[in-house]
């Protein structure tokens, strides 16, 4: 997040025109051209993040290119609806801030675990959708109380979980870079890896040497250029575009009626808690950026929008929705604070979701090209978690232990996928998700070390590899000072 002092000193391009100071900049409407272009910029900043989860989950389920296009379009459509709910608001639902909603990355790893433990892959998406509906409804009911419980999700917990999200998704990017079919003879060939590397370099060069709008859409431009470069190699398939219709609608329950499995529901409820925590932190940050601090009422309304949007999303074959932090950074950079600009971006998402041709464009991108961009995309998520951990007070012995053990627990399913093979199948759905287990471990350890009983939060660690020695020195220094 941009520093508040820098934000307040930035040029105010989103403020009311001279003579019209009756509206807060958040509630202003801008000229049509500026409204449309600014809204499109928000879509560009989040597009890759919205389409990545359905691509990952859809590929794991084994969907065809046509079905994958449908699932991607559904995610765009439901992200637009959730953004409408958040920015425009209904009753006590919606923060009414320039708050973009889309498919949360936090749910990807648990959903993959559900897919892996579902015998019939045709049932995987209905089980996922059923779990999201229940988690969304429970989250909606809990929204007014959750804002009061946020103290149990300090940066040491949220930072650990966000870091695990990025780490858990990086193997997906590496798999994409190797090619579309793990059983093919050319899987992991130098051609595929070179395409992934070229795409990665293009994205990095754009981020380093461009500014403004082009810099914000570096990942999107990298995907386009990578796809064009891949054409001579014969790995770009335009079939999905040719077969897609111009107009379509994400038919409710296209993949079957939702199914309700207890283990899957528990897993997605954990994801919902993580998502609500992230959204709360994002609302607090965004409130400072737009000079409309988010109070408890605003946070509760925003969480209601998040959770209701998530509960309704599976009806149209979409996944759990949450705030997109990169768009908060875009608001800070441009100083365009109007929530109607973001609502306009939501309108673009809905239109793209209603056009299978638009949704199919991402299906054209070869997997190695997606893999190259995914390294940046998923790595940035992990880096965001590390940024949060920097604020967590890792000079404290307690927090070092919380992060160390929670990361270790969360990384188990990544480094040793069969670690929990002896456990019941229902338990594996939760245990095989490093994000879920890491989150539970972080919350539990934070309670034990920082909330229950007398804790030693004043013990500092200057060399985390030797905590006992440093703690001993700290205590001796305190004792000498006391005498």
pLDDT tens digits for 256-268?
999 999 888 988 9
> Given this model, what pLDDT does residue 13 score?
41
User: How many angstroms separate the CA atoms of 166 and 161, rounded?
Assistant: 9
Of 117-131, 283-297, 322-336, 468-482, the least confident? 468-482
> Given this model, what pLDDT does residue 185 score?
87
> Given this model, what pLDDT does residue 429 score?
66
* Better-predicted residue by pLDDT, 457 or 106: 106
- The answer to whether residues 52 and 374 touch, using CB atoms and an 8 Å cutoff, is yes
User: How many angstroms separate the CA atoms of 196 and 226, rounded?
Assistant: 8
Of 17-21, 264-268, 437-441, 447-451, the least confident? 17-21
User: How many angstroms separate the CA atoms of 476 and 482, rounded?
Assistant: 10
Structure tokens at 370: 């997606």
What does the pLDDT average to over 65-89?
Answer: 89
Secondary structure of 377-446 as H, E, C letters: HHHHHHHHHHHHHHCCCCCEHHHHHHHHHHHHHHHHHHHCCCCCCCCCHHHHHHHCCHHHHHHHHHHHHH
Nearby residues of 65 by Cβ (< 8 Å), 6 or more positions away: 237, 239, 240, 243, 363
pLDDT range class, residue 380, cuts 50, 70, 90: confident
**Residue 387 scores a pLDDT above 60:** yes
- The answer to whether residues 157 and 274 touch, using CB atoms and an 8 Å cutoff, is no
> Given this model, what pLDDT does residue 329 score?
63
* Better-predicted residue by pLDDT, 458 or 316: 316
**Residue 95 scores a pLDDT above 60:** yes
Structure tokens at 405: 């053990």
> Given this model, what pLDDT does residue 51 score?
82
> Given this model, what pLDDT does residue 471 score?
40
Residue 467, judged by CB atoms within 10 A of its CB (0-12, 13-18, 19+), counts as middle
Please measure the distance between the N-terminal and C-terminal CA atoms of the chain and give it in whole angstroms.
Answer: 44
Nearby residues of 437 by Cβ (< 8 Å), 6 or more positions away: 409, 410, 412, 413, 430, 431
Give DSSP secondary structure letters for 298-363. HHHHHHHHHHHHHHHGGGGT---EEE-HHHHHHHHHH----HHHHHHHHHHHHHHHT-HHHHHHHH
Mean per-residue pLDDT of the chain: 80
> Given this model, what pLDDT does residue 364 score?
78
Which percentage of the chain shows pLDDT scores above 70?
84
What does the pLDDT average to over 11-22?
Answer: 46
* Degrees to nearest 5, angle at CA 392 with 391 and 396: 125
Closest CA to 73 of 393, 363, 352: 352
Q: How far is CA 366 from CA 55, 188, 227, 425, in A?
A: 12, 14, 6, 34
* Better-predicted residue by pLDDT, 66 or 306: 306
Structure tokens at 477: 């220094």
Structure tokens at 380: 């940035």
Of 17-31, 78-92, 121-135, 390-404, the least confident? 17-31
Q: Is 103 helix (H, G, I), strand (E, B) or coil?
A: strand
> Given this model, what pLDDT does residue 464 score?
45
**Residue 222 scores a pLDDT above 90:** no
Closest CA to 254 of 113, 80, 125: 125
According to the per-residue pLDDT averaged within each range, which of 37-46, 159-168, 193-202, 434-443 is highest? 193-202
* Better-predicted residue by pLDDT, 45 or 130: 130
Q: Which helix (H) or strand (E) holds 102?
A: strand 101-103
* Degrees to nearest 5, angle at CA 24 with 18 and 29: 75
Q: How far is CA 82 from CA 3, 12, 101, 301, 302, in A?
A: 27, 28, 6, 13, 11
> Given this model, what pLDDT does residue 197 score?
95
Taking each helix axis from N to C end, the angle separating 397-415 and 467-482, rounded to the nearest 10 degrees, works out to 170
Closest CA to 293 of 301, 302, 283: 283
User: How many angstroms separate the CA atoms of 457 and 115, rounded?
Assistant: 41
**Residue 60 scores a pLDDT above 80:** yes
**pLDDT 10s digits, 442-481:** 989 999 988 786 545 555 544 444 444 444 444 445 455 5
> Given this model, what pLDDT does residue 189 score?
92
pLDDT range class, residue 79, cuts 50, 70, 90: very high
Q: Which helix (H) or strand (E) holds 376?
A: helix 367-390
Closest CA to 194 of 255, 235, 165: 235
> Given this model, what pLDDT does residue 3 score?
36
> Given this model, what pLDDT does residue 363 score?
66
User: How many angstroms separate the CA atoms of 367 and 181, rounded?
Assistant: 9
In our burial notation (b when 16+ CB lie closer than 10 A, e otherwise), range 257-289 reads ebbebebbbbbbbbbbbbbbbbbbbbbbbbbbb
**pLDDT 10s digits, 326-348:** 677 667 666 788 899 999 989 98
């Amino acid at each position: 997040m941009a520093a508040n002092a820098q934000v307040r000193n930035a040029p105010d391009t989103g403020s009311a025109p001279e003579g019209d100071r009756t509206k807060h900049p958040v509630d202003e409407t801008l000229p049509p051209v500026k409204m449309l272009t600014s809204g499109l910029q928000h879509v560009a900043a989040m597009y890759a993040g919205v389409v990545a989860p359905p691509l990952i989950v859809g590929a794991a389920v084994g969907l065809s290119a046509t079905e994958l296009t449908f699932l991607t379009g559904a995610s765009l459509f439901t992200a637009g609806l959730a953004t409408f709910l958040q920015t425009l608001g209904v009753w006590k639902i919606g923060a009414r801030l320039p708050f973009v909603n889309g498919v949360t990355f936090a749910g990807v790893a648990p959903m993959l675990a559900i897919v892996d433990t579902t015998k019939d892959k045709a049932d995987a998406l209905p089980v996922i959708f059923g779990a999201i509906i229940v988690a969304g409804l429970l989250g909606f009911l809990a929204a007014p109380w959750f804002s009061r419980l946020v103290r149990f999700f300090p940066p040491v917990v949220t930072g650990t979980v966000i870091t695990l999200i990025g780490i858990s998704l990086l193997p997906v990017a590496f798999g994409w870079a190797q090619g579309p079919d793990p059983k093919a003879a050319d899987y992991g060939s130098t051609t595929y890896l070179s395409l992934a590397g070229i795409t990665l370099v293009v994205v990095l060069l754009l981020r380093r040497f461009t500014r403004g709008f082009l810099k914000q859409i570096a990942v999107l431009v990298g995907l386009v250029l990578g796809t064009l470069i891949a054409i001579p190699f014969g790995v770009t398939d335009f079939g999905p575009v040719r077969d897609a219709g111009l107009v379509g609608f994400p038919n409710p329950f296209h993949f079957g009626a939702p199914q309700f499995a207890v283990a899957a529901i528990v897993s997605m409820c954990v994801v919902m808690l993580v998502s609500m925590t992230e959204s709360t932190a994002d609302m607090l940050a965004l409130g400072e950026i737009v000079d409309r601090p988010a109070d408890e009422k605003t946070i509760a309304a925003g969480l209601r929008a998040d959770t209701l949007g998530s509960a309704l999303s599976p009806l149209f074959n979409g996944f759990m929705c949450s705030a997109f932090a990169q768009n908060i950074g875009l608001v800070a950079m441009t100083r365009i604070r109007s929530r109607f600009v973001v609502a306009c971006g939501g309108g673009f998402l809905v239109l793209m979701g209603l056009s299978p041709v638009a949704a199919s464009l991402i299906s054209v991108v070869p997997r190695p090209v997606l893999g190259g961009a995914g390294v940046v995309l998923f790595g940035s998520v992990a880096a965001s978690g590390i940024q949060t951990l920097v604020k967590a007070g890792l000079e404290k012995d307690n927090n070092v232990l919380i992060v160390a053990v929670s990361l270790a627990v969360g990384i188990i399913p990544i480094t040793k996928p069969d670690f929990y093979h002896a456990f019941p199948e229902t338990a594996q759905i939760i245990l095989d998700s490093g994000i879920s287990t890491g989150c539970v471990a972080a919350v539990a350890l934070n309670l034990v070390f920082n909330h229950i009983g007398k804790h030693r939060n004043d013990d500092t660690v200057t060399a985390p590899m030797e905590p006992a020695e440093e703690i001993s020195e700290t205590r001796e220094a305190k004792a000498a000072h006391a005498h």
